């Protein structure tokens, strides 16, 4: 059967070719009843939009990409990313092409494919590694990109970031001012640049134990159990995210360790979880952070020079989980 043309549809529906085009493309300028009739006729005639029509009609992919390397099940609990995505979308009139993959290699391959297939106009890079191959890849592909997080200054890429070093220093200083000397840190993934920055700040500020975690409740609980079971247990623990901190607070409760009398707890990434658990937390407006990242990416896509935007320092919100050190 011959593939029906716009002209065939116009004739059958009794409208102009222009009206058919508007109707098929979801544009304004035709009434809803005309649109419905055109779609009906198009469907009856077996019309399918040409897969090349769009590619030929525009140089823009009309989407930007975000790849997350995470076990999907764990990702669903990370409110941070959904807030970030919501903030990004608040500044974009185009769609977000989102894909969750299981490895860094798969992530790299996906950017290459998206670039080769012209699927995205640019990408957000999150979870920056200490020595991150994506920075070089984006430069060699010439794919506009914004690094979200990290510590700023990534080759020729734009970035939007917060100063994790200064934030960690302020947390430790706060705990020291309450008399804490045995302070521990439950860190996130050690391959991530912001984890290393926080490690460095922590080690400069205090002589304390660092235990690695992977942001899950299980990791937070295990690290806390191990720290509290040691010969000289810490009197304060700083966690790299909200989920691990809440799990840590529950372990303390189950062991009969009273928060904050015997143990102070500080969480990174304030959230409704921290609010309702009354946890002292580092708070920032993740939604606004996402919005800022989107503006930076759209600017680069439109040809602006990449800029390095330092976000406001996260603010320490003191709630019931921190207090003076025991015996002080």
Q: Rule CB under 8 A: choose which of 2, 33, 51, 232 binds its own copies.
A: 51
Q: For residue 63, state whether it binds its own copies (rule: CB under 8 A).
A: yes
Nearest to 317 by CA among 174, 151, 145, 157: 174
Q: Rule CB under 8 A: choose which of 5, 40, 153, 312 binds its own copies.
A: 40
In residues, how long is the chain?
328
Q: Rule CB under 8 A: choose which of 8, 45, 89, 225 binds its own copies.
A: 89
Task: Decide whether 233 or 314 has the Cβ nearer to its own copies.
Answer: 314
Alpha-carbon distances, residue 58 vs 52, 55, 301 (angstroms): 10, 6, 15
Task: Decide whether 175 or 249 has the Cβ nearer to its own copies.
Answer: 249
Q: Give the per-residue contact string, 263-282, with its own copies (x = CB under 8 A; - = no).
A: ---------xx--xx-----
> In sequence order, what are the beta bridge partners of 123?
65, 145
Task: Decide whether 106 or 166 has the Cβ nearer to its own copies.
Answer: 106
Nearest to 76 by CA among 192, 283, 215: 215
Nearest to 231 by CA among 182, 264, 179, 266: 182
**Element housing 101 (H / E):** strand 95-101
Assess whether the previous peptide bond of 162 is cis (omega < 30° from 0). no
Helix, strand, or coil (residue 163): coil
Q: Give the per-residue contact string, 235-264, with its own copies (x = CB under 8 A; - = no).
A: --------x--x------------------
CA distance 146 to 91: 15
Q: Rule CB under 8 A: choose which of 12, 45, 108, 129 binds its own copies.
A: 108
Task: Decide whether 135 or 325 has the Cβ nearer to its own copies.
Answer: 135
Task: Decide whether 55 or 318 has the Cβ nearer to its own copies.
Answer: 55
Q: For residue 43, state whether it binds its own copies (rule: CB under 8 A).
A: yes
For the chain, state the CA radius of gyration: 26
Q: Rule CB under 8 A: choose which of 11, 75, 210, 316 binds its own copies.
A: 75
Q: For residue 176, state whether it binds its own copies (rule: CB under 8 A).
A: no
CA distance 169 to 4: 67
Q: Rule CB under 8 A: choose which of 17, 53, 166, 302 binds its own copies.
A: 53
Q: For residue 303, state whether it binds its own copies (rule: CB under 8 A).
A: no
Q: Rule CB under 8 A: choose which of 7, 17, 118, 328 binds its own copies.
A: 118
The answer to whether 118 and 54 are in contact (CB under 8 A) is no
Alpha-carbon distances, residue 46 vs 12, 35, 161, 278 (angstroms): 13, 16, 51, 60
Q: For residue 226, state whether it binds its own copies (rule: CB under 8 A).
A: no
Residues that bind its own copies (CB under 8 A): 24-27, 36, 39-40, 43, 48-59, 63, 65, 72-73, 75-79, 81-83, 85-87, 89-90, 94-100, 108-113, 115-119, 137, 140-142, 243, 246, 272-273, 276-277, 286-287
């Amino acid at each position: 059967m011959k593939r029906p043309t716009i002209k065939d549809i116009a004739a059958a529906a009794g409208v102009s070719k222009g009206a058919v085009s508007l109707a098929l493309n979801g544009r304004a300028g035709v009434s809803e009843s005309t649109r419905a009739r055109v779609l009906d006729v198009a469907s009856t005639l077996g019309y399918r939009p040409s897969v090349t029509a769009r590619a030929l009609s525009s140089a823009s992919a009309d989407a930007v990409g975000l790849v997350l390397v995470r076990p999907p099940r764990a990702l669903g609990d990370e409110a941070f990313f959904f807030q970030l995505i919501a903030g990004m979308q608040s500044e974009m009139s185009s769609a977000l092409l989102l894909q969750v993959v299981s490895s860094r290699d798969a992530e790299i391959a996906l950017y290459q494919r998206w670039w080769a297939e012209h699927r995205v106009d640019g990408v957000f890079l999150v979870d920056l590694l200490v020595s991150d191959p994506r920075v070089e890849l984006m430069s060699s592909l010439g794919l506009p990109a914004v690094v979200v997080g990290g510590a700023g200054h990534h080759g020729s890429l734009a970035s939007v970031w917060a100063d994790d070093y200064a934030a960690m220093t302020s947390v430790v200083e706060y705990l020291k001012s309450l008399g804490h000397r045995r302070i521990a840190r439950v860190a996130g993934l050690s391959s991530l640049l912001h984890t290393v920055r926080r490690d460095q700040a922590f080690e400069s500020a205090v002589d304390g134990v660092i235990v690695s975690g992977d942001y899950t409740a299980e990791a937070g609980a295990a690290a806390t159990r191990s720290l509290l079971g040691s010969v000289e247990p810490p009197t304060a623990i700083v966690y790299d995210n909200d989920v691990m901190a809440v799990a840590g607070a529950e372990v303390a409760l189950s062991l009969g360790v009273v928060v904050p009398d015997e143990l102070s707890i500080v969480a990174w990434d304030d959230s409704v979880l921290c609010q309702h658990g009354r946890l002292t937390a580092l708070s920032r407006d993740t939604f606004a952070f996402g919005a800022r990242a989107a503006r930076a990416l759209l600017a680069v896509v439109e040809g602006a020079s990449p800029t390095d935007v330092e976000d406001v320092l996260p603010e320490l919100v003191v709630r019931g989980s921190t207090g003076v050190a025991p015996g002080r």
